[in-house]
Amino acid sequence: MTEAALKTAKTREPVSDDSEGMDYLITRQSRFVTVYLPLILIMFVLLFPFYWMGTTSVKPNSELLDMSNHNPLWVSSPTLQHFEKLLFETEYPAWMWNTMLVAVVATFLSVVASVLAAYAIVRIKYKGAQTIGGLIFLAYLVPPSILFIPLSTVIFEYGLFDSPLALILSYPTILIPFSTWLLMGYFKTIPFELEECALIDGASRLQILVKIVLPLSVPGLISAGIFSFTLCWNEFIYALTFISTSSNKTVPVAVLSELVDGDVYHWGSLMAGALLGSVPVAIIYSFFVEHYVSSMTGAVKE
């Protein structure tokens, strides 16, 4: 080898390999094992309950009660008799209305209170602000199964027992702590200089909150609203304890208590009620899932 070739070999820079660290995805077999197979398993575990719920809700009673002669995973003769019974022979429309009313009003009250609390803790400087924020979040860790006993006494003493107002006023006790913590993290991502400029121009704290902070916090507000609405929609313990009349019950409690006669379970109507009850939450998530994920990320990276 000549002297010029030796110099060229010494001065040649090594070529960087951008694929380093991704070698396990090169072959098709490795990609299937490491990516697609786990995804398929996760999707099966998550979606199979909905598949079972959907097929059960359209199965006739003959197929539901005779699994030895019918495939339990398939529907031979689909029918809508369970939906007809649920909608026209029970008070399911009233249960759905009660659930929607309680969820919407309690969510609104919780988000408003959480916005005021989070803004006061994050933006208004006073001694012990961070301690108060931590204590509010710790209140979220208290199990509702412990709180419903003293809350039931309070609800009864105020004459709110067996009314949707009992749920509307009790649900914020478990919604506000988490929503406040989430909005605290999101408010911290908003530059404080914007508020300083508004203060110099003579804006009040309320004007800053309404005209500057809230428009920039729409993803965080959507996230807090989705969390609160979902928890209210699916809540069971308080609804079971505070409501006794059938017409005032919410969907999670009414479906379980009104569609079971002793030891006889009307599985078709039960699954139809559960399927219809999950539709509103699924629609909300499908519209706002991107804002929900972005706001949760902003709340975590404080």
What is the sign of the dihedral through the CA atoms of 184, 185, 189 and 192? Answer: positive
What is the sign of the dihedral through the CA atoms of 249, 252, 258 and 263? Answer: negative
Give ranges for CATH 1.10.3720.10 in the chain: 91-300
Six token digits for residue 233: 């929609």
> Taking the CB of residue 276, how many other CB atoms lie within 10 A of it?
17
Q: Give 194-246 pLDDT, tens digit per residue.
A: 888 888 888 888 888 888 888 888 888 888 888 899 999 989 989 988 998 88
Q: How would you classify residue 262: left for phi > 0, otherwise alpha for psi between -120 and 50, otherwise beta? A: left
Distance CA 109, CA 175 (A): 10
> Taking the CB of residue 197, how many other CB atoms lie within 10 A of it?
13
Q: Which of 90-94, 130-134, 199-203, 294-298 has the highest mean pLDDT?
A: 90-94
Whether residue 20 is predicted with pLDDT greater than 60 in this model: the reply is no
Beta bridge partners of 265: 260
Q: Are 137 and 180 in contact (CB under 8 A)?
A: yes
Residue found by looking up tokens 């005032």 in the block: 248
Q: Which residues contact 168 (CB under 8 A, 6 or more apart)?
A: 101, 102, 105, 106, 109
Q: Report residue 26's pLDDT band, with 50, 70 and 90 as the boundaries.
A: low
Distance CA 101, CA 233 (A): 10
Whether residue 282 is predicted with pLDDT greater than 70 in this model: the reply is yes
Q: What is the distance, to the nearest Å, from the Cα of residue 63 to the centroid of all Cα atoms in its chain? A: 34
What would the 3-class secondary structure string for the chain be? CCHHHHHHHHHCCCCCCCCCCCHHHCCHHHHHHHHHHHHHHHHHHHHHHHHHHHHHHCCCHHHHHCCCCCCCCCCCCCCCHHHHHHHHCCCHHHHHHHHHHHHHHHHHHHHHHHHHHHHHHHHCCCCCHHHHHHHHHHHHCCCHHHHHHHHHHHHHHCCCCCCHHHHHHHCHHHHHHHHHHHHHHHHCCCCHHHHHHHHHCCCCHHHHHHHHHHHHCHHHHHHHHHHHHHHHHHCCHHHHHHCCCHHHCCHHHHHHHHCEECCEECHHHHHHHHHHHHHHHHHHHHHHHHHHHHHHHHHHCC
Q: Are 227 and 140 in contact (CB under 8 A)?
A: no
Task: For residues 273-285, give the mean pLDDT.
Answer: 85
Q: What is the distance, to the nearest Å, from the Cα of residue 282 to the centroid of all Cα atoms in its chain? A: 10
Q: Comparing 84-98, 124-138, 177-191, 249-263, which segment has the lowest mean pLDDT?
A: 124-138
Q: Report residue 181's pLDDT band, with 50, 70 and 90 as the boundaries.
A: confident
What is the per-residue pLDDT for 201? Answer: 84
Across the chain, mean pLDDT equals 81
Q: Give 52-102 pLDDT, tens digit per residue.
A: 888 888 888 888 877 777 777 888 888 888 888 888 888 999 999 999 999
Six token digits for residue 190: 């908003």
Q: Report residue 108's pLDDT band, with 50, 70 and 90 as the boundaries.
A: very high
Task: Look at 256 and 290; give whichever has higher pLDDT.
Answer: 256
Task: For residues 165-175, give the mean pLDDT.
Answer: 91
Which residue type sits at 172?
P
Six token digits for residue 37: 């197979």
Residue found by looking up tokens 């709180």 in the block: 147
> Taking the CB of residue 66, how many other CB atoms lie within 10 A of it?
9
Q: What is the fold, at CATH topology level, of the domain defined by 91-300?
A: MetI-like fold (1.10.3720)
